[in-house]
Amino acid sequence: MSRRNDGTVKKILRFIKPYLHYLALSLVFAVISVALTLYAPILTGNAIDDIIGTGQVDFDSIFYILKILAVVIFITSAAQWLMNLCNNTITYRVVKDVRTRAFAQLEILPLRYIDSHQYGETISRIITDVEQFSDGLLMGFTQLFTGIVTIVGTLIFMLSINVKISLVVVLITPLSLFVASFIAKRTYTMFRAQSEARAKMTSLVDEMVGNQKVVQAFGYGERALDRFDEINGKLQEVSLKAIFFSSITNPSTRFVNGLVYAGVGIVGAFTAISGAISVGQLSCFLSYANQYTKPFNEISSVVTELQNAFACAKRVFDFIEETPEIPDDPDAAAMGQADGSLKLEDVSFSYKKEVTLLEHLKLEVKPGQKIAIVGPTGCGKTTLINLLMRFYDVDAGQIILSGHDIREVTRDSLRANYGMVLQETWLKSGTVEENIAYGRPNTPREDIIAAAKAAHAHGFIKRMKDGYDTFIQEEGGNLSQGQKQLLCIARVMLNLPPMLILDEATSSIDTRTEIKIQEAFQKMMEGRTSFIVAHRLSTIREADVILVMKDGNIIEQGNHEELLRVGGFYKNLYESQFAH
């Protein structure tokens, strides 16, 4: 076992620890199975010795031996079945725990990690790599333990028959271990490269499937195919090398085993001629020599499979050990309903240390104010929203909500005070009702209908085949973009938190419906602090305060008329983008 795998093995053992009782049972059944398997050649050898010559066969003894042999074979089969049952139980429970732990890690990783890694690679680690690890672990339990017990047991039985012949076996067999070790060291890096190439392919397929309309609209199909061919070619190359090197292990060790068998046959024959052992004992010894070398073949093939399993396991454990989101402070209190007052005191933040974004940002929002945030792309509008929701933590300064530093309250209680509608909609696989009630499960149907009516979604929902019980496909694939956005708005209408964040919330809705939605929003925003990231003239003009952002700073602040009178950046932005 290479040193690079030592840490991985220790982590695997920690997951196996809860199932040590199954492991102990597996070893017991392995010992029973191997012991009886090794006892069978002795019975066979005794039967051969009972066949002395023509007319000198001891049939009574042979029939008695056959009865015992039948019982031995039955018990051996039962022990092997029970051993495999224990191994399967250990493997699939361990894999279940690993996969559950990996998915739980996904839920606590910071948004920074999710934003900086391809979704397909993350999916590959949780699903494909865990599956590969499962296959290797099962093979390891099934063949590794029985192989070791068989080697030890066979050696003891052979030594009890003849020490000299046993030494022939012991001296030649280590060649098998040398060959297996030599190949295993070279296959680990190849299997790791195979896992990485597989993850890239999963990521590309996920990207293409999720954005197929864009791919076809812009004629990207040929280039996507070229990218796929490049990754697929790389996967073929590394897979071929990994499989080739791992596949030569078995024939190499079998060649060594053939030398062992030949050596036992030659030495044993001369020993039998000299009368030191009987023909039956020689037959028994040849059977043992075969059984002794067989586990080396199995272990060598298991070792190469384990290299693949360890490579995949390391990727999974690397993911599990990613730095999680900074946990809530132990003294963090659950925040009650916010009054809507908000302060940003000297806030600085950047996604990358070398690229500054928000610097020394100051802002004071009074309860119930409507705050519109405008500015060119990349000025920090969405970043500001991410900080308010504490999807990211500030690098310097502090954000104070209702008199509380948001880092001193629990994230759940903080986010419960916000209702959020984004330009990018998200719906889960489930019914319309389940999607609207996502933040408030078990809400009465009449409340859900009221929220849908307020969001002007009730009409199209009733026209659907099963109404509120209509099943929505993943990401709402059977709905239009506008319908998905209306359902997301209804979701917020149902919760009605004290603060709202609307990030281009009506971007995919027709003008007539938007007017109705804006009316609903106005009613919903009454008495609630609202942050509106929008480019629609009506929304911006009705805001109490407009924050004009540029290069990560608030360069102008005031209502629509005040900013136009100033004649600065906002006026230029308004005249270039919004003036009719």
Please state the domain extents for the chain.
1-162+300-323, 342-576
Phi, psi of 283 (to 5 degrees): -60, -40
Pairwise CA distance, residues 155 & 127, whole Å:
42
Range with top average pLDDT, 179-193, 248-262, 448-462? 448-462
Predicted pLDDT of residue 505: 63
| Beta strands 370-374 and 545-550, pairing class | parallel
Least confident of 146-155, 250-259, 390-399: 250-259
The average pLDDT across 101-116 equals 82
* The amino acid at 513: T
User: Percentage of the chain with pLDDT > 70?
Assistant: 90
- Which element (helix H / strand E) includes 313? helix 279-320
Tokens in use for 90? Answer: 């250990």
> Does the pLDDT of residue 537 top 70, yes or no?
no
Predicted pLDDT of residue 78: 93
> Does the pLDDT of residue 442 top 90, yes or no?
no
Homologous superfamily of 1-162+300-323 in CATH?
ABC transporter type 1, transmembrane domain (1.20.1560.10)
- Check: CATH 3.40.50.300 for 342-576? yes
> Does the pLDDT of residue 226 top 70, yes or no?
yes
What is the average pLDDT value for the chain, to the nearest integer?
80
| Structural contact between residues 497 and 421, judged by C-beta atoms closer than 8 angstroms | no
| Structural contact between residues 130 and 312, judged by C-beta atoms closer than 8 angstroms | yes
Phi, psi of 398 (to 5 degrees): -155, 155
Q: Name the residue with higher pLDDT: 328 or 394.
A: 394
Predicted pLDDT of residue 55: 61
Q: Which residues contact 73 (CB under 8 A, 6 or more apart)?
A: 40
DSSP string, 186-229: HHHHHHHHHHHHHHHHHHHHHHHHHTHHHHHHTT-HHHHHHHHH
For 204-225, the pLDDT digits (tens) are: 887 777 677 677 766 777 888 8
Q: Is 375 helix (H, G, I), strand (E, B) or coil?
A: coil
Whether the domain at 1-162+300-323 and the domain at 342-576 fall into the same CATH topology: no
Q: Name the residue with higher pLDDT: 449 or 426.
A: 449
Pairwise CA distance, residues 110 & 123, whole Å:
16
Q: Name the residue with higher pLDDT: 88 or 174.
A: 88
For 253-297, the pLDDT digits (tens) are: 777 777 777 777 788 788 778 777 777 777 777 777 777 777 776
> Does the pLDDT of residue 74 top 90, yes or no?
yes
| Beta strands 430-431 and 471-472, pairing class | antiparallel
Tokens in use for 290? Answer: 């075969």
| Structural contact between residues 375 and 570, judged by C-beta atoms closer than 8 angstroms | no
| Structural contact between residues 245 and 154, judged by C-beta atoms closer than 8 angstroms | no
Predicted pLDDT of residue 82: 92
> Does the pLDDT of residue 539 top 70, yes or no?
no
Q: Which residues contact 459 (CB under 8 A, 6 or more apart)?
A: none
The average pLDDT across 146-175 equals 78
Give the model's confidence band at 477: pLDDT under 50 very low, under 70 low, under 90 confident, else very high: low
For 492-524, the pLDDT digits (tens) are: 888 888 888 887 766 666 777 677 777 777 777
> Does the pLDDT of residue 75 top 90, yes or no?
yes
For 39-53, the pLDDT digits (tens) are: 887 787 777 777 765
> Does the pLDDT of residue 547 top 60, yes or no?
yes
Give the model's confidence band at 13: pLDDT under 50 very low, under 70 low, under 90 confident, else very high: confident
Predicted pLDDT of residue 1: 46
